[in-house]
Amino acid sequence: MAQLEATMAPRWPRWWLALAGAATASIRPERIPVLDLKRLNNPDQIEALGRACADPGFFHVINHGVPRDVIDAFEAATRAFFALPTDVKRRVKRTATNSRGFADDEFTKRTRDYKEMYDFGHKPHPELDDDAVENHVMDGWNQMPELAGFREAVETYYACCADVCEALLDAVALSLDIAPEAFRSLFEGGHTSYLRLNAYPATKNRHVQNDVDLDIERLSRNEEDDAETPLDELDGPRLGVNRHFDAGVLTLLYQDPAVSSLQVNVNAHNDDAPPHWIDVSPVENALTVNVGDMLQVLSNGKYRAPEHRVLASPPGVSRVSAPFFYNPAYDAEMRPLQTDAPRYSPFSWGYFRRRRFEGDFADEGKAEVQIADFLIP
């Protein structure tokens, strides 16, 4: 891979190199800590976990327990799905009433994502068909493509991710001096987590609109984007996914080890400082974790959801990723745990999730609800 990167680097347009480096000149790789899941009963590791959740809100986890063959089978299934013809993938396309399935028209902050995706979620009654009424939940129901081995690979990896997140959340509770049962109770009756498969196609040189005077801010406001234009016909430099915060409790991310595209704004919670983006590069044999909005509420703001974005892939290089969004039961009450001075008023996760998806779908990425709406004056 090093040889490939050396070969490709001189051909990458300056807009991509500038975006990758303009705001990251002082990147320190150690800025994103690496934690060992097997040692998260160690006080030093618990303390390190708390620091990471507070700032920058990202960390990598090794010895996570997901078998290598499970990851390899899942990545192979992911690549096989996105290699299918577009009309075949669209047979399982998501709709306004079903958030699960394929999409190539996702918007973030009213900007078209330069990617394809597929969402898979919790199935309350695995013994029944995917589209059985009993398996229709608020987020919809699973739509499985006709692809050999796909279901088994995705379901197995999904279950492993849930196990990792449960263990991580127990450690998070300890870091907050909260009994793990306080968090576990929020997931009773079935968590509502979902797994997203992402494919970021290689960009093309003709996407370079202004190779000399790169306007990075323009990448955050492609106001003329529409949902119908094929990805490879979109004009101008752009982001894979625009800046955003994750809504759930934790996100567990598999990153393509060949390409570094994820970035976090370490100044997102500092109103007096300009954005400062640093790389969250993949670490060998690790999964990447970030705090979600719900954990920010549950911790009363002690742990903060990080603002992050994804760069589009450079010319000649495509990549995949897979975030697992660890979400509580729909009827779980989101409120600060164990505090006499709550900063957030209570609300249900189901209400927040419904409003968020309705806004995403109807308004092309304009979220209808944010946790700031529940701040107590």
Q: What is the pLDDT of residues 167-216, one digit of tens each?
A: 999 999 999 999 999 999 999 988 999 999 999 988 765 333 323 233 44
Q: Look at residue 264 in the predicted model and tell me its pLDDT.
A: 94
- Helix axis angle, 150-175 relative to 43-54, nearest 10°? 100
Q: Which tokens is 257 given?
A: 């080890």
On the CB side of 310, CA atoms within 13 Å amount to 27
Q: Look at residue 237 in the predicted model and tell me its pLDDT.
A: 59
Domains of the chain in sequence order? 2-374 (2.60.120.330)
Check residues 45 and 339 and name the one with the higher pLDDT.
45
Strand partners, 324: 195, 252
Q: Measured between alpha carbons, how far is 26 from 18 in angstroms, rounded to an integer?
A: 14
Q: Which of 98-112, 195-209, 252-266, 298-312 has the lowest mean pLDDT?
A: 195-209
Q: Measured between alpha carbons, how far is 318 from 83 in angstroms, rounded to an integer?
A: 12
Q: Measured between alpha carbons, how far is 326 from 247 in angstroms, rounded to an integer?
A: 10
Q: Please state the pTM of the whole predicted model.
A: 0.86
Asked if the model's pLDDT at residue 9 lies above 60, the reply is no
